Structure 1
Amino acid sequence: MVNESGTRRELGTLASFDGTDIVWRRIGAGDPVVMVHGSGGGLHSWQPVAERLADRYAVWLPARRGYEPSGPGHSPKTFADEVGDLKALIERIGRPVHLAGMSYGATVALHAAVAGLPVRSLLLWEPPLFAVGEQLAPVLDEFRDLSAKGERGRAGLLLAEKVARIPAALLEAMGASEPAAHESDEPDDSAGWSLDLESLIAEPADVERWSAVTAPTLLMRGADTWQPMPETLDRLAAALPHVTDVPFPGQMHFAPSVAPDAVAAEIARFLSVTD
Structure 2
Amino acid sequence: MSSSVRSPDGTVVGFETLGDGPPMVLVHDTGADHTRWTAVRERLAERFRLHLVDRRGRGLSRDEATEYDIRREGEDIAAVAEAAGGGVYLLAHSYGALCALEAVRKTDAVTRLVAYEPPRPKPGGHVVGPEARKRMRAAEKPEEILEIFLREALRLPPADVEAMRRTPVWPARVAAAHTIPRELEVVQRMVFDERLGEIAIPVRLFAGTESPEYLRLAADAVAERIPGADVVPMRGQAHQAMDFDPDQFVGAVFDFSGA
Tell whether the structures are fold-level matches, with TM greater than 0.5: yes
Q: In the alignment, which residue of structure 2 is the partner of 1:88?
A: 79
Q: In the alignment, which residue of structure 2 is the partner of 1:233?
A: 219
Tell me the CA shift for residue 116 of structure 1: 3.9
Deviations 1:173-196 (CA, angstroms, capped at 9, x unpaired): 5366xxx9xx9x934222322442
TM-score, normalization: structure 1?
0.79
Higher mean C-alpha deviation, range 113-122 or range 78-87? 113-122
Checking the alignment, whether the CA contact within 8 Å between 2:97 and 2:117 is kept in structure 1 is yes
Q: In the alignment, which residue of structure 2 is the partner of 1:4?
A: none
Residue 191 of structure 1 is aligned with which of 170, 178, 196? Answer: 178
- Output the CA distance in 1 between the equivalents of 2:78 and 2:57: 17
**1:156 equivalenced with 2:150 (yes/no):** no
Q: In the alignment, which residue of structure 2 is the partner of 1:113?
A: 104
Residues 93, 116 of structure 1: alpha-carbon distance in 2 compared, 3 angstrom cutoff: closer
Checking the alignment, whether the CA contact within 8 Å between 2:86 and 2:108 is kept in structure 1 is no
4+ residue stretches of structure 1 with deviation over 6 A?
A: 131-137
Checking the alignment, whether the CA contact within 8 Å between 2:75 and 2:106 is kept in structure 1 is no
The answer for unaligned runs of 5 or more in structure 1 is: 1-9
Q: Which residue identity does 1:200 align to in structure 2?
A: V
- Output the CA distance in 1 between the equivalents of 2:53 and 2:160: 29
Count, aligned residues: 250
TM-score, normalization: structure 2?
0.83
Q: Which residue identity does 1:247 align to in structure 2?
A: P
Tell me the CA shift for residue 257 of structure 1: 1.6
Paired residues for 1:210-249 under 5 Å: 210-249=196-235
Tell me the CA shift for residue 131 of structure 1: 7.8
Q: Which residue identity does 2:71 align to in structure 1?
A: A
Q: In the alignment, which residue of structure 1 is the partner of 2:116?
A: 125
Q: In the alignment, which residue of structure 1 is the partner of 2:28?
A: 37
Checking the alignment, whether the CA contact within 8 Å between 2:81 and 2:110 is kept in structure 1 is no
Paired residues for 1:1-275 under 5 Å: 10-71=1-62, 73-130=64-121, 138=130, 142-146=135-139, 149-150=140-141, 152-153=143-144, 155-162=145-152, 164=153, 166=155, 170-174=156-160, 186-187=171-172, 188-200=175-187, 203-206=189-192, 209-271=195-257, 274-275=258-259
- Output the CA distance in 1 between the equivalents of 2:201 and 2:122: 24
Partner of 2:14, secondary structure, is strand
- Output the CA distance in 1 between the equivalents of 2:154 and 2:177: 18
Tell me the CA shift for residue 198 of structure 1: 4.8
Deviations 1:41-60 (CA, angstroms, capped at 9, x unpaired): 11211232221121221111
Checking the alignment, whether the CA contact within 8 Å between 1:27 and 1:60 is kept in structure 2 is yes
